[in-house]
Amino acid sequence: MTVKALLTDMFGVIAQIQPESARTRLVRIAGAEPDAFWAAYWAHRPDYDQGISTPLDYWSRVACDLRMDFGTEQLMELHAADIDSWSLRHQDMIDALPRVRAAGYRLALLSNIPTSLAEHVYAVDEFMDEFEVVAMSCHIDAVKPSPAAYQWCIDRLDLPADEILFIDDSQRNVDAAAAVGLQARLYRGVDDLFATLSIEKSRI
């Protein structure tokens, strides 16, 4: 089946997921029990990623779940540490982006990401210029795996869904993408991606 565009996830594909050192730092700042902290952290993430919650709203809700009261300085420290926790990148995938474009594929990005982290990405990541279409969940009012998030990208690319290859490190998001008609594949590294797109490995 023809592929004309690559729609990629950000975290887990281009950027690394939170390393253990960063996760430990967040738990330490919160002063919470780890399992309880991460349950609260992820429970309120969809609204945060969708741009519904501000950083203050988000961390206040996390604190409420933990039955804790984060002071202003602690909230600011948690917010900064959270942004920093998502700052590591997969350089091999960054290097691959211009090669994908050179091979004739259009590039688009779809990421679940809160507003402040999106602003940070735009400020520091030069590779963002590689993308023709950028869908940050906080800007499009939809988060994966909602069909609306994928449809937003399909509409902006103005291509049939089955001519777009979507890659993500989450099987749940891959399945949701396939359900709206996208070609969808779990990301397994640059070599696998280039094989899927029939791009010679030597061109990386």
pLDDT (tens digit, 9 = 90+) per residue, 98-117?
999 999 999 999 999 999 99
Nearest-angstrom CA–CA distance, 128 and 118 = 11
- Exposed e or buried b for every residue in 82-96, given b needs 16+ CB within 10 A? bbebbbeebeebbeb
Phi, psi of 184 (to 5 degrees): -130, 140
State which H helix or E strand residue 60 sits in.
helix 55-66
Name the nearest CA neighbour of 137 among 13, 47, 12, 61: 47
- List pLDDT tens digits, range 32-73: 999 999 999 999 999 999 999 999 999 999 999 999 999 999
Domain architecture of the chain: domains with CATH: 5-16+88-203 (3.40.50.1000), 20-85 (no CATH)
pTM of the model: 0.94
